[in-house]
Amino acid sequence: MPPAARIAVVTGASSGIGAAVARRLADDGMTVVAVARRVDRLDAMAADHPNIVAHGADVTDRFAVASLAERVNAQFGRCHVLVNNAGVGGGAFTGPESVDGLLHTMQVNFVGAVHTTAALHGLLAASAPSQVVNVGSVSGKLGVGPADYCASKFALVGFSEALSLSWTHEGIAVTQLNPGFIATEGFPQRQLVTSRFARFVGAPEDAAAAVAAVVASPVRERTVPRWYRALVTLRHVAPPLFWALASRTSRARGTRDP
């Protein structure tokens, strides 16, 4: 099916990776329903691009997500691509005082994706072949960094892997996209971009290009930048070496670099 006939829904689309993905898919000719809480930013994007439609919603609110699905169905009658990108970071887990923060991170990063995927499942199935792209993280494969963020992304990886098997018969491909360090408004990576490791930090457009690639040719998993895949492999083939190296990083303290 040509891109011009396809409908995509992108959450967390008001900035960072989500905004870059919405613009990239719209540039490729798809009609993109850009979803986020900051409607003013979405409206500005829609004003700049005829293929972008703004829709304000909080993915942690299942009723708001149900309204999103109702609008997509009423306005377009189909949905070919869902990109679950809405997410937040997290801090160190230190005890009881950290539980509320962990639950909030899980609600946005994992449960929000569950709500959206569930609400749009019927349209995705009716529009098959279709695809869900869940924007996870390398932290969802390695467990290095804030515990709440890692837990939410590990959950999203497991959810994606299970659906990639169970939804195949419906014609719905499910991809986990696992970015490494990507400099965005919410995750500026200031410490890294001013160091000798700056060349290892990607841009939102890198992740958007990866999303466009897996939409064009579905796979179950994609890491971006690709070299981060070596760390995931090392974690499984040589765990002692991986943990020895990981323990020397600043994120071994369970915090996120500024």
CATH code of the domain in which 150 resides: 3.40.50.720
**Which pTM does this prediction carry?**
0.90
Judge whether 38 lies within some domain: yes
Q: Is the dihedral of CA 157, 10, 12, 20 positive or negative?
A: positive
The reply to whether 149 belongs to the active site is yes
Report which of 164, 186, 168 is spatially closest to residue 176, judged by C-alpha positions. 164
Per-residue pLDDT of the chain (258 residues; tens, 9 = 90+): 666 689 999 999 999 999 999 999 999 999 999 999 999 999 999 999 999 999 999 999 999 999 999 999 999 999 999 999 999 987 889 999 999 999 999 999 999 999 999 999 999 999 999 999 999 998 899 888 889 999 999 999 999 999 999 999 999 999 999 998 765 555 545 444 333 444 455 688 999 999 999 999 999 999 998 888 888 899 889 989 988 887 877 666 666 654
Task: Report the half-sphere exposure of 10 (CA within 13 A, side-chain side).
Answer: 31
Q: Do the domain assignments include residue 242?
A: yes
Q: Looking at 93, 110, 149, 154, which residue is catalytic?
A: 149
Beta bridge pairs of residue 55:
35
Identify the pLDDT of residue 90: 79
| Tokens matching residue 238 | 């040589």
With beta carbons less than 8 A apart as the criterion, state whether 122 and 77 touch: no
Range of the domain at 102: 3-253
The answer to the question of residue 258 being in a domain is: no
Number of domains in the chain: 1
Is 144 within the bounds of a domain? yes
